[in-house]
Amino acid sequence: MEIQTPDWVKHAVFYQIFPDRFARSKHPQKRILTTARWEDWNAMPTLQGYKGGDLWGVIEQLDYLQELGINAIYFTPIFQSASNHRYHTHDYYTVDPMLGGNAGFRELLDAAHERNIKVVLDGVFNHSSRGFFFFHDVLENGPHSPWVNWFKVHDWPLSAYNGDFPANYEGWDGNRALPVFNHENPEVREYIMEIAEYWIKFGVDGWRLDVPFEIKVPGFWQEFRDRVKAINPDAYIVGEVWTDAREWLDGTQFDGVMNYLFAAPTIAFTAGDRVDIEQVQDRSYHPYPPLFASEYAQKITDVLELYPWEIQLTQLNLLASHDTARLLSIAGGDRASVELATLLLLTFPGAPSIYYGDEVGLPGRLDPDSRRGFPLEANWDREILELHRQLIALRHEYTALRTGKYEVLFAEGTVYVFARTWGEEEVIVAVNVGTEAAHSNFVVSKLRSQPSKLLFGSAEVSWNNEGESHQLDLRLPPRSGCILG
């Protein structure tokens, strides 16, 4: 079977939006909630508070995103939910009223599509919430409920809210707020498939799937793919799988996964011993211990060998998400770590995904801190923003940076150099993560040209050609990187 993934993803730069926190619309809108009773936008977020971001606010920021070079948005959940992150789905067919409801989402989707910006939604299909109608009916009616077999009930009575008693049903990760669906039940399976179809028909460009590895029913994700792609063959299906995801990346299920296997070594390499262990330990990815360039090269080579190339090009690469601390905080505030890692992210095969606010240097330790309100312009880190703009623009300009072959050229000590090549187009990317300037000199046998124009960053570059042998001589300032084209 030839693996097919959506072309547009290969050329996409994603922006991950946590809807409650990205933007609150300034223009008047028809709202259900007319008086703001949410937390102060700039105050530290809390686990349960809302800040009132909405989809109209996103519409108002589409100019900003477009200027940044974004052409795809991944929204964490937008469906009606009684949690600020909205992973506790209350209704899969209703966009949360605070966000603007289905009408607001229609507006946003149309506005995004007018700008050729794709929109991918977060699908939470392993579990629902205590308020989700079908579970609520079981909670209210016990064994009388016709929906009993939709969940994994062990015994009666259910105790959904009182921790003094056993929940008596399966909750995700033991959390009684998140009743797990019984996917063995064909009714449940059909119900989920129809949700997926509904929103693809509505016009969304794909699904990011929450904890898809929890659904172990044979054929589930295959059917999901078949039914989604039958409506839109270009729909993007990306799973939240933090580890080796070969099981799902055989071409019959997902087009890619959230690439924490890229994030972890990239952080370990660029932030090194600055990594605040508290922010990363006991997580599903491992951005530590620090890596030398050679170790990083090995990890990257490994991950690139793990999946077919067609899949590599539609991986969702990232440095941070709502599920992690932000890199700036992981690195103890070290801006260079962010710059270096962002350079590696935006030059890697697969679609880079920028977690809202990372581009303006927003810090954030683990949840809830990693979900702050998008900062006021006065508080933006302009250099970090400019770096993002430049790197995204270069990625759009050079096909090689998007779909070109990836070749490690040099990896020693603190210096890591690789090439991206697409036909005649050859680009070299180099970073020096060390705190001292680095002088490297190495033979480059894999390129036809000798890229020496500095497209990004600062470096002293020269080529020494002795017969067939081409030597690149590269002087990189401390904690810096460059792109040569």
Question: Which residues belong to the active site?
Answer: 210, 240
45 prior amide bond cis, ω within 30: no
CB of 132 to a second copy, least distance (A): 8
Nearer to a second copy, 45 or 352 (CB): 45
Tell me the pairing of strands 118-123 and 206-209. parallel
Q: For the window 332-351, what string marks contact with a second copy as x by the rule CB under 8 A?
A: --------------------
| Site membership for a second copy, residue 146 (CB under 8 A) | yes
Q: Which of 2, 35, 377, 466 binds a second copy (CB under 8 A)?
A: 35
Which range binds a second copy by CB under 8 A, 6-14, 184-192, 326-334, 458-466?
184-192
Q: Which of 139, 235, 354, 415 binds a second copy (CB under 8 A)?
A: 139
Find the helix packing angle between 260-270 and 293-306, rounded to 10°. Answer: 170
Which range binds a second copy by CB under 8 A, 6-14, 144-152, 219-227, 477-485?
144-152
Which range binds a second copy by CB under 8 A, 80-88, 249-257, 296-304, 388-396?
80-88
Distance, in Å, from the CA atom of 97 to the CA atom of 78, rounded to the nearest integer, reads 9
| Site membership for a second copy, residue 34 (CB under 8 A) | yes
Which range binds a second copy by CB under 8 A, 77-85, 313-321, 381-389, 395-403?
77-85
| Site membership for a second copy, residue 90 (CB under 8 A) | yes
368 prior amide bond cis, ω within 30: yes
What's the CA angle centered on 217, arms 155 and 165, to 5 degrees? 20
| Site membership for a second copy, residue 83 (CB under 8 A) | yes
Distance, in Å, from the CA atom of 2 to the CA atom of 160, rounded to the nearest integer, reads 47
| Site membership for a second copy, residue 147 (CB under 8 A) | yes
Q: Which of 60, 107, 137, 425 binds a second copy (CB under 8 A)?
A: 137
Residues 256-295 that bind a second copy (CB under 8 A): none
| Site membership for a second copy, residue 142 (CB under 8 A) | yes
CB of 160 to a second copy, least distance (A): 7
Distance, in Å, from the CA atom of 109 to the CA atom of 203, rounded to the nearest integer, reads 7
Is residue 485 within 8 Å of 398, Cβ to Cβ? Answer: yes
Q: Which of 24, 136, 388, 395 binds a second copy (CB under 8 A)?
A: 136
Nearer to a second copy, 91 or 425 (CB): 91
Return the residue matching tokens 């898809």: 212
CB of 47 to a second copy, least distance (A): 9
Nearer to a second copy, 48 or 458 (CB): 48
| Site membership for a second copy, residue 32 (CB under 8 A) | yes
| Those residues with Cβ within 8 angstroms of residue 377's Cβ, 6 or more apart along the chain or in another chain | none
Nearer to a second copy, 91 or 310 (CB): 91
| Site membership for a second copy, residue 187 (CB under 8 A) | yes
| Site membership for a second copy, residue 98 (CB under 8 A) | yes
| Site membership for a second copy, residue 407 (CB under 8 A) | no
Q: Which of 28, 174, 186, 467 binds a second copy (CB under 8 A)?
A: 186
First to last CA, the chain: 36
Nearer to a second copy, 58 or 160 (CB): 160
Return the residue matching tokens 């052409």: 71
Q: How many residues bind a second copy (CB under 8 A)?
A: 48
| Site membership for a second copy, residue 80 (CB under 8 A) | yes
Residues 150-169 that bind a second copy (CB under 8 A): 159-162
| Site membership for a second copy, residue 145 (CB under 8 A) | yes
Q: Which of 26, 27, 144, 453 binds a second copy (CB under 8 A)?
A: 144
Q: For the window 39-58, what string marks contact with a second copy as x by the rule CB under 8 A?
A: x------x-xxx-x------
Q: Which residues bind a second copy (CB under 8 A)?
A: 32-39, 46, 48-50, 52, 80, 82-84, 88, 90-91, 93-94, 97-98, 130-131, 133, 136-137, 139-142, 144-149, 159-162, 177, 186-187, 190-191
